[in-house]
Structures are given as structure tokens and as C-alpha cells.
Structure 1
Amino acid sequence: MYYDLHIHSALSPCSDDTMTIHNIFNMAYIKGLDLIAITDHNSLKQQYYLEKVIQSPILEGKINFIHGVELQSIENIHMLAYFQRGIDLKPIQQWIEQHLIKQENDCQYYGHQYIFDVNDEIEDEEQYLLLNSLRLNIYEIVEAIHRFQGIIILAHVLAQKYGIYEVYHGIPEDLDYDGIEVTCLKEYHDLKKLCPNVKDEYVFINSDAHQLEDIQEPIYTIDEDKLKRLWSQRICKKSL
């Protein structure tokens, strides 16, 4: 399956206002992707409408999605949390809101934080700035996401801003993450030299798109069964 599992909708203040749900799915379909994830900063509020949108006559049976969110730890590290379709997202959203550092969003400075309905109409606008951190460190976030039956991918690990390597000068070996995200294969090879013990069974190369044209071309693939095994392994660990 061709994928892009790091796409921001207009709910993320740093994203373009044209990043509506339908626009994202349609562009991903036009580009030839099979699987996407909308991963807004510190919010799942755009996720509630995805199921109905994907059942539209144009998209039904042509593209799939998983639920996602990009979380920011107190150390300013970005982490992608993914959840399977059908999971109850409301307790996870409540957990995020409980720990988000609250600051009123200045839409003139940071950008709007629009929530769209199934018709791409603006239903609401998030009042708290979603670019802030959660009051939790990376270990606490990983533990919580696993408790919610999600998986954790370390986002853009070598980025100078918000990447885990920049903060820790490595990747802690005792951190129970599930995979890593890099921007290209060269970055992955660079990471392996810097961190030979990195957990790399699951390596994702995503676009981190904030504009429609930035959504990834059909270049990188992932095996659907392998992705399902990742969730199964995590659920089994949780039950032990």
C-alpha cells in the first residue's frame, strides 16, 4: 500500500486553510495513495468525521485511513500516535485536553484552527493553541498511548527542531516506542550510524504535509498485514 501517515488538516494552526477533510482525501486519491493519516497537533477533533467522508461515492473503497495525532511532549519532542478505525477516540481526546498547556490561540499570528464537518463546512474553531506541549514527558506519553491501544512513532527523529535526537543526542534504549519516522532513506542511514540500536522494524517516510500539494506521491509502501501485526503485538503486550 502506498501511504502518507503524517498530514495536517486546517485544525493545525500552521497548516493551510484549504486542508479540509475532503480536499485531503481527494488529493491523496488523485496522487495514488492507498492509506493516509490526518495527524493534527495535539487534537483528534477532526477525526470524528473521517468515517463518513470516506464513505462518499467518490472515495468509498478507493482509499483507507487510520486515526492519528501528533503529540508534543514537555521536552518539545514530536511523537505520532496512531489508532485503528473503530476505536473510541473521546477518552483519548479528553486525556490530551487534560494535559495540554492552555493558551488562547492568536489566529492572526499562529493561524486558524478550523474543525470541518462532513461537508467541509467550518463547524467550530479550536480556541486553545495546539502548538503548545503536553505537561508530560516522552515516557508518560508512550505509556498512555499504549494504554489507549495505540502505537507510537517517533516523528522526524533527526529534525533540528522537535526531533528526539536533537534533545537527547540519541534515542533512549529504554523507551518503548513502536517505530520511527524519517524524511528520506538517506536520513535513515544517517540515523543508523548515529544510533545503531534504534528500533527500525517499522520505519515510516511521510510528508508532514501542511499544504495539499505537499501530500506525498506514491513512492513508499507498507504491508497492510505488517501494520496490523504492529497493533496486535502492542495489544498482546498490554494484556500481559
Structure 2
Amino acid sequence: MGRWCIDLHNHSCLSPCGSDAMLPAVLAMEGADKGIDILALTDHNSGRNLPAFAQACEIIGITGVFGLEVTTSEEVHVLSLFETLEEALSFSAWIESILPKIANSSRLFGNQLVCDVTGTIIEEADIFLYGPAEIPFDILIEKTLQSNGLVIPAHIDRPANSVTANLGFLPELPYSAVESIAFPPIVDTYGYTVTQGSDAHYIEHIGRRRCYIESESVGFAALRDAFSRNAVSYLGI
């Protein structure tokens, strides 16, 4: 049985709140340097930088997880994570289709840069990606699981854009896990498996929070199994 380091919450230069220096390949390289075995890219409401991230993870030799941080209609942030690039891109296209048709203002909100594995900018997303998608929290949970993904309410102990802050409680739903910034969590997690992720928007944030799964192998199936067994441990524990 091995102990594998995971960090399932990170942004790239596609997220308007992220640094332009957060190239997908930089995320993969820094993650590997920090000893992370399973690393996810989860930009806001879009997976347009996932192809570059997938290439970088393959070159560097770490396990990439392909995801989005979706904002629900209640403005709750949720991580929708997928094993394959194709699954993630299909889900991303659907989420983008139900976003408000608001043009991004890079001056007001930040750039939304799409790049290739070398860091070359190939386009800039024109629709504002940070806004709420037209999907309720419970339906997003259902749709992610139906799409063969893992679903994790993000930073449930944060005073904004979290399920506990925006809904006032953690509904009893079939989450794969829940994410907490603090450990031990400062809110009731009701027995759900708890993860920690960096929520990195800047290079120096990569690896600042992580946790570990206990598994005989490394990969998406190992994540799913470890979450189902609550086989997660934390720094120093």
C-alpha cells in the first residue's frame, strides 16, 4: 500500500483571477517539484487549458486530473474532476454553454489566456468565466457523477462562494469528498471524506495545501477508491 500526494484544486492563466504566469506547463512542473503525484487543473467554468496541461503532465511523468471549478447558480464553487481529457472537455463545453453571455473585461477582471504546452498564447476566452452557470448546486452534483466524474464542494469553510456560506449548510448529497482549507475543518463535514487543495492562482501557491491517499496504485481509479474508503491523510498525520 502506497501513500500518494494529491492536490486537486489549481488554476491557470485561463482563470481571470489567476496570474498570467500560471501556465499549464508551469503548474505541472512546479507540482512535480513539490512532490505531488496526482495534480488537477481546475479553472473557473472552463477546461480550455486542459489539453496543454495533459501534455505537460505526460512529459513530466505525473498523473494529471482534468477538471473545472464550476460556479453554480447559487454562486457555490464546486470541483468537477474527470479521468480523461475528452470527458473534461465535453463537460467544459456544456458548462460554458450555460454561462451568462457577458463579455470579459480584462481591465476589470483579468486576462483569460488559453495557451499550448510551450506557453504560447493561442486565444483569449471572450466570455466572462467567473460568473455563475445556470445550474443549481444539487443538479451539478448529479450531472458530474452521471458524467463519470468526481465531485467535491470547494473550500466549504470559506466565508464566500462555499456551500456552507451561500446555502447555510452542507446538503446530504453523494459527494465524492469535500474540500476544507483548515485542518481540522472548522465546519461540520458530516463524515464525508475531507481533502485539501492549494487553490493556487499564483506560482508560489502551488503545493501550499495537499493531502495523501492510501492506495496500491496511483491514478484516477485510486482516487475514487480512496475517497470511497475515506483513506485520506494529511501533512504530518
TM-score range, shorter chain: 0.7 to 0.9
Quick one: distance in 2 between partners of 1:86 and 1:37?
A: 11
Residues 25/136 of structure 1: CA separation in 2 closer, same or farther (3 Å cut) = same
Gaps of 5+ in 2: 230-237
- Is the partner of 1:7 in helix, strand or coil? coil
1:131 aligns with 2:130: yes
Structure 1 residue aligned with 2:49, among 28, 43, 46?
46
> Paired residue for 1:143?
142
Aligned residues: 221
Matches within 5 A, 1:97-176: 97-173=96-172, 175-176=173-174
Return closer, same or farther for 1:35/1:169 CA change in 2, 3 Å cut-off: same
Which residue type is aligned with residue 178 of structure 2?
Answer: I
Q: Which runs of 5+ in 1 are unaligned?
A: 234-240
- The percentage of counterpart residues that share the same residue type is 27
Does the aligned pair in 2 maintain the 1:78–1:164 contact within 8 Å?
yes
Structure 1 residue 138, shift from structure 2 partner: 0.5
- What corresponds to 1:212 in structure 2? 203
Offset of 1:11 from its aligned partner?
A: 0.2
Q: TM-score, normalized by length of structure 2?
A: 0.86
For 2:232, the equivalent position in structure 1 comes to none
Take 1:88 and 1:231, find their aligned partners in 2: how far apart are those partners? 20
What RMSD, in angstroms, separates the aligned Cα atoms of the two structures?
Answer: 2.0
- Cα separation, 2, equivalents of 1:17 and 1:93: 21
Query: Compared with structure 1, are the counterparts of its residues 121 and 91 closer, same or farther at alpha carbon in structure 2 (3 Å cutoff)?
Result: same
Query: TM-score under structure 1 normalisation?
Result: 0.85
Distance 1:114 1:219 in 2: 26
Deviations 1:64-102 (A, max 9, x none): 211111000010100001111354333212211221112
Check 1:25–1:172 CA distance in 2 against 1; reply closer, same or farther (3 A cut).
Answer: same
Q: Which of residues 200, 203, 228 is equivalent to 2:224?
A: 228
